[in-house]
Amino acid sequence: MRNQKQEQKLKHHLNLLKQMAWREHVTEVPLHEQQSEAPTAEMLAAPWQNWPQIEGDFAWGTPEGHHWFAGEITVPAAEKGITPYLKLIAKNEILLGRTDPQCQVYLDGQICQAFDGFHRELYLPQAQRAAGRATIHINAYTAEIERQLGVALVWCEQHDAAADLYYDLAISFEAAIRLDENDARRHHLFNVIDRALNSLDLRAHDASFSASVEAALEIAQNAFDQETHAPTISAVGHTHIDVAWLWPISQTREKMVRSMSTACKLMDEYPDFVFMYNQCILFDWLKQDSPDLFERIKKHVKSGQFEIEGAMWLEPDVNIISGESLVRQILRGVKFQQDEFGLTPRVLWLPDTFGYTAAIPQLMAQTGLDIFVTSKCSWNDTNRMPNDTFEWQGIDGTNVTAYLITAQTDDKGHRGDHRTDYGPHLDVSSTVGAWNRYEPKALNQNVLVPFGHGDGGGGPCKVMLENAKRMEKGVPGLPKVKLEGIRPYFDRLRQTIANSDTPFPRWVGELYLEYHRGTLTSLAKNKRNNAAGEHVLRELELLSVLAKLNGHNIEADLAEIDELWKILMLNQFHDILPGTSIPQVYMDSDADYADLFERGEALRQKLSPLALEAQSQLLNSQGVGRKNALVQFKADTTATAVDFGYGARALQAVHRADGQRLQVAPIEQIAPFARQTATTAPKAADQIGELSIDQHHLENAFLRVEVANNGEITSIFDKRARRELLRKGSLGNQLKVYQDKPLNWDAWDIDWFYEEKSWAIDTAAKIEVIETGPHRAALRIERAYNQSRLVQIVSLQVDARQVEFDFYADWQESQSLLKAEFDFDVVSDQIKSQIQFGHVTRPTHRNTSWDQARFEASMHRWVAFEETDFTIGVLNDCKYGYSATDTHFGLTLIKSGIYPHPTADQEEHLCRYAVMVSDDPHPVVAINQQALDFACPLQVHAPLKEDAANATQPASLIGWSAPNVILHAAKISEDQSGVVFRLCEESGKRTRFTVKFDERLGKVQRTNLLEQVMAACPRNEDGLVEIELAPFEIVTLAAAMD
């Protein structure tokens, strides 16, 4: 009881000391105001004295608007040991990820720091203190609809010694109350604090008080003690800035300026303070928006106070984007850091991304990165990750060191909440919580805490650094704190791992996030646009290679491709592409993609005649060969037949579910990254192959598909294998709507109980035969659901072992999850899912809590259920989420949340998916090739030529002898000296193969993903390069242009 009373007394007296240390609202600074969206330079140069002066009750602020305040400040006279400072009195509402208002402060026209809900005080720099006066401008941004009422800038006073005493005693008090009541250290700390507080003369703010503070400070030092076996917290300043989320990109650029100006000012005031930031795109914008501030950062980088790390251009979603996009995010980020700061990163910093593909370790190893950092895995809703430092093994066997940030308030641990924070306050609670949360404690006693307000930026504040100064001294019961950068911390950690007698734990495979599963589907349009953008850039890069090899100067075109990559990578940010931002973000994103596609098409039209021998040539920009693929003709044509060099084939009109009509014809074969001429033919050859259709069935030589009156599939029968694909009595392509009302994060989450309430869309308004051949037969099925309209084209191609579904929806539902479901008749307890540069195998049973939590998972273009000699694959062109329980499969088509976008996904949707069968002895190879073919149909853009005499022979830029090896990119090298080819083994098979290059290409070298030469690749006597790849290994080959 006495101990509790003492604690209450000390807490009360500390509050009394705090009031003596900081005296607020001494005098007010007269301010003038002006609402304006004019550029900063114009407002700083404006005659602010002519602006209205603030008087009385002043209402101000507009949604997403700027209001300027200006005035003349005169530093008040103050006694020695008293520091005058300014405080902004405003609403300072603290909201999710941000505060309102957010302000940028300028002194005498120079950028100074930010004012926001976490940074309300301004301690004048030395230049203004010495001058005794300055002109202040405050650019205040308000985001909310509700107006601000009142604003004031007031002079306050800090009693410097009393402030030091308060920080000393407050830290000691917070440490003491966390110790057991029987711990002697608790009593020691309480006694020291009690003695110090009792020595104070609080009667008045005078010389007697100041003298008593000096005496109390001497007593307070008895609280500090470096305990021999205390763990160490390495604390680095940081701020997480979402490129877009609950604010548009335009505001993010301002957040970067505000955050960096505050960080630089704190570095000036605290020489031991080290700050780290990572996203290169924001540095690039900062260089444009505030070049003087960018130069200040470069000076702090040279001094070692500002640390640049993180490697990527920005923090993208890494489940959805392609492998090549991942490479470019790293390549661009590393290059930017090297060019602008002379630094080469070693850390992949992704604290807030929604799960991590098992392709990452290899990408890191091939770009010189050895540490992976996140905190998001701690957000799992079911299982806690067993360790926070471990070796992470990717699908190819590469191992890198992974570090999970463990910062959390210590009360979270007491409540059993294992979620951590990548933007904590630096105080006793967060340091104790970080150590308590960390494992394996037995192998490492040094924990990293990146501190500073984040999501919407802001970063560290003065009180955090004052706390750090005290905790650096050592306080009984607390971890020791060391202010330093992440580079020295991870250097020591790697040494600790290397010297450990006990191996650190290892985690094999993906880091699946048991949370935010809906991000694989929300805002489907954006995911479709991203996939299309990746395809556009792959084709443009191939065309640029061919044009350059043909002797054309394409320097300007390469610069344009680079700009298009910037657009694509910006929209891959982990709150844009996943569909978790406000409507304004998607208005901007739509405009970005429209710009990308328009400029991309213009560039394709420019490069095609430079790259191809004939305008009507067909180009296979996919890294797989095509066989019997239907080629689409984009330009209007009156021709009835086409010849690709294998004989005439009739043109057939085919239908898309959204009403589009295309002309198609099959091509016998075309090699990867090859070009081939298409010409008109006077007459088509007779149809070869079976094809029949009516309203209730489709059939070819290999498959028979039966359709019920309501449009659902009742049978898919493989005639060659003589077996049914669907479980007896079950359905295929059943469209089912689930109630989707998550507990917390609407756009982000699909919760474990979503399956409990669902409705089948089991009526069809119309079923009609719309195609009868000669190349494919198709049914059109139209449905209605509530306020929505759905159309599907179900088609079967001649000699194909897959049935295809073209899907369109005018979707007008909210909080509804739409899946297309199949119940397959296979015996398999696992599913293979394509990811970047390979595939992973996941259980489909729910034996363990880990299996149960993985009820919605990621894929790229295919998944597959395997028996020994029979495989069922599901292909798609732009979907990323699925569910699989036993052999019941659901392709997730639409998730229409209401927050933060109230009408998300209430628009038109278009996608394609297919079910295929394979009895190939290497089914993954067959399915992978077919999926890439399906996702990116071959297209002829230009009008067909009529003169077949000018047809050229098929030509390929590169060829290789292994069908399990996929080519992901052919591009001009970064130094423009040659052509870079990126290949990957994607079936999980160790492979030796040969590569043949275009005769215009010379010396070949193997490089890493940064295009740094690793080894020579001599040609054999046949002029081929011999390559050996381990399972899922990526190889990059650079061929010189002779």
Cα distances (Å, whole numbers) of residue 856 to 305, 520, 733, 842, 925: 43, 9, 18, 11, 25
pLDDT of res. 615: 58
| pLDDT tens for each residue of 576-612 | 999 999 999 999 999 999 999 999 999 999 999 999 8
- Residue 1, pLDDT > 60, answer no
Closest listed residue to residue 911, CA positions, set 874, 879, 864, 875: 879
Taking the C-alpha atoms of residue 60 and residue 46, their distance in angstroms, rounded to an integer, is 20
Taking the C-alpha atoms of residue 101 and residue 863, their distance in angstroms, rounded to an integer, is 48
| Among the four given CATH numbers 3.40.50.720, 3.20.110.10, 3.40.50.2300, 3.20.20.70, the one describing domain 232-502 | 3.20.110.10
- Per the listing, tokens 């904590």 go with 424
pLDDT of res. 414: 72
Closest listed residue to residue 74, CA positions, set 124, 115, 139: 124
Lookup: tokens for 86? 């300014």
Q: Quote the strand ranges of 722-850, DSSP E.
A: 723-724, 734-739, 758-760, 766-772, 776-785, 788-797, 802-810, 816-823, 830-835, 838-843
Average pLDDT estimate for 120-141: 95
Taking the C-alpha atoms of residue 924 and residue 698, their distance in angstroms, rounded to an integer, is 26
- Per the listing, tokens 């509530």 go with 786
CA quadruple 616, 620, 625, 627: dihedral sign: negative
Phi, psi of 27 (to 5 degrees): -140, 160
- The number of beta carbons lying within 10 Å of the beta carbon of residue 192 is 22
Residue, of 636 and 524, whose pLDDT is higher: 524
Q: Are 298 and 343 in contact (CB under 8 A)?
A: no
CA 768 to chain centre: 43
Enumerate long-range contacts of 785-790, CB under 8 Å, 24 or more apart. 785/735, 785/737, 785/761, 785/813, 786/812, 786/813, 787/812, 787/813, 788/812, 788/813, 790/735, 790/761
Closest listed residue to residue 348, CA positions, set 407, 278, 300, 418: 278
- For residue 96, give the amino acid letter: L
pLDDT of res. 1024: 96
Beta 347-349 vs 371-374: how paired, if at all? parallel
CA quadruple 662, 665, 666, 670: dihedral sign: negative
Q: Coil, strand or helix: which one is 291?
A: helix
Residues 6+ away with beta carbon under 8 Å from 183: 477
Between CA 254 and CA 262, with CA 256 as vertex, the angle to 5 degrees is: 105
Which region among 215-224, 506-515, 622-631, 1025-1034 has the lowest average model confidence (pLDDT)? 622-631
Element (H, E) at 934: helix 923-935
Q: DSSP for 509-578?
A: S-B--SS-GGGGTSSHHHHHHHHHHHHHHHHHHHHHHHHHHTT---HHHHHHHHHHHHHHHHTTBTTTTT
Fold match flag (32-150 vs 957-1042): yes
User: Residues, the chain, total?
Assistant: 1042
Cα distances (Å, whole numbers) of residue 714 to 139, 711, 1001: 65, 9, 54
Q: What average pLDDT does the structure give for the chain?
A: 95
- Per the listing, tokens 């098992």 go with 358
Lookup: tokens for 587? 């208005």
Task: Map out the domains of the chain as residue ranges.
Answer: 2-13+161-223, 32-150, 232-502, 520-611, 690-937, 957-1042
Average pLDDT estimate for 826-841: 97
- Alpha-helical runs (H) found in 160-227: 160-176, 184-198, 207-220
CA quadruple 82, 86, 89, 94: dihedral sign: negative
Taking the C-alpha atoms of residue 375 and residue 405, their distance in angstroms, rounded to an integer, is 5
pTM of the shown model: 0.96
- Per the listing, tokens 């799992």 go with 380
Which residues face 1016 on adjacent strands?
A: 1005
pLDDT of res. 94: 86
pLDDT of res. 901: 97
Please name the fold of domain 957-1042. Answer: Immunoglobulin-like (2.60.40)
Which region among 140-154, 562-576, 652-666 has the lowest average model confidence (pLDDT)? 140-154
Average pLDDT estimate for 842-867: 98
- Residue 951, pLDDT > 60, answer no
pLDDT of res. 947: 60
| pLDDT tens for each residue of 928-942 | 999 999 999 999 988
Cα distances (Å, whole numbers) of residue 36 to 47, 59, 67, 174: 14, 15, 6, 45
Average pLDDT estimate for 631-649: 85
CA quadruple 432, 438, 441, 446: dihedral sign: negative
Closest listed residue to residue 123, CA positions, set 56, 73, 162, 188: 73
- Residue 252, pLDDT > 70, answer yes
Closest listed residue to residue 867, CA positions, set 1025, 721, 673, 765: 721
Q: Coil, strand or helix: which one is 240?
A: coil
- Residue 447, pLDDT > 90, answer yes
Q: Quote the strand ranges of 877-952, DSSP E.
A: 881-885, 888-895, 908-918, 939-940
pLDDT of res. 765: 83
Task: Among 12-26, 615-629, 936-950, name the most confident range.
Answer: 12-26
Closest listed residue to residue 740, CA positions, set 812, 818, 810: 818
Closest listed residue to residue 515, CA positions, set 856, 847, 892, 859: 856
Average pLDDT estimate for 895-922: 97
- For residue 568, give the amino acid letter: L
Lookup: tokens for 877? 């062109």
pLDDT of res. 638: 79
Please name the fold of domain 690-937. Answer: Beta-galactosidase; Chain A, domain 5 (2.70.98)
- Residue 953, pLDDT > 80, answer no
The domain 32-150: what is its CATH number?
2.60.40
Lookup: tokens for 958? 């590169």
Q: Are 664 and 631 in contact (CB under 8 A)?
A: yes
Closest listed residue to residue 20, CA positions, set 215, 216, 170, 210: 210
| Among the four given CATH numbers 1.10.10.10, 3.20.20.140, 1.20.1270.50, 2.70.70.10, the one describing domain 520-611 | 1.20.1270.50
- Residue 479, pLDDT > 80, answer yes
pLDDT of res. 858: 98
- Largest distance between two CA atoms of the chain: 109
Average pLDDT estimate for 49-73: 94
Q: Are 323 and 359 in contact (CB under 8 A)?
A: yes
Categorize the per-residue pLDDT at 686 as very low, low, confident or very high, splitting at 50, 70 and 90: low
Lookup: tokens for 177? 């109350």
Categorize the per-residue pLDDT at 895 as very low, low, confident or very high, splitting at 50, 70 and 90: very high
Q: Coil, strand or helix: which one is 976?
A: coil
Beta 306-308 vs 275-277: how paired, if at all? parallel
Taking the C-alpha atoms of residue 404 and residue 372, their distance in angstroms, rounded to an integer, is 8
pLDDT of res. 859: 98
Taking the C-alpha atoms of residue 555 and residue 538, their distance in angstroms, rounded to an integer, is 17
b/e sequence 421-448, b meaning 16+ C-beta within 10 Å? bbbbbbbbbbbbbbbbbbbeeebbebbb
Q: Are 879 and 893 in contact (CB under 8 A)?
A: yes
- For residue 878, give the amino acid letter: C
Q: What percent of the chain has pLDDT over 90?
A: 87
Taking the C-alpha atoms of residue 943 and residue 637, their distance in angstroms, rounded to an integer, is 7
- Residue 549, pLDDT > 90, answer yes
Taking the C-alpha atoms of residue 356 and residue 377, their distance in angstroms, rounded to an integer, is 9
pLDDT of res. 624: 87
Residue, of 1042 and 702, whose pLDDT is higher: 702
Q: Are 216 and 465 in contact (CB under 8 A)?
A: no
Average pLDDT estimate for 973-992: 97
Residue, of 25 and 111, whose pLDDT is higher: 111
- Residue 948, pLDDT > 60, answer no
Taking the C-alpha atoms of residue 642 and residue 632, their distance in angstroms, rounded to an integer, is 11
**Number of alpha helices (DSSP H) and beta strands (DSSP E) in the chain:** 20, 61
Categorize the per-residue pLDDT at 287 as very low, low, confident or very high, splitting at 50, 70 and 90: very high
Radius of gyration of the chain (CA): 32
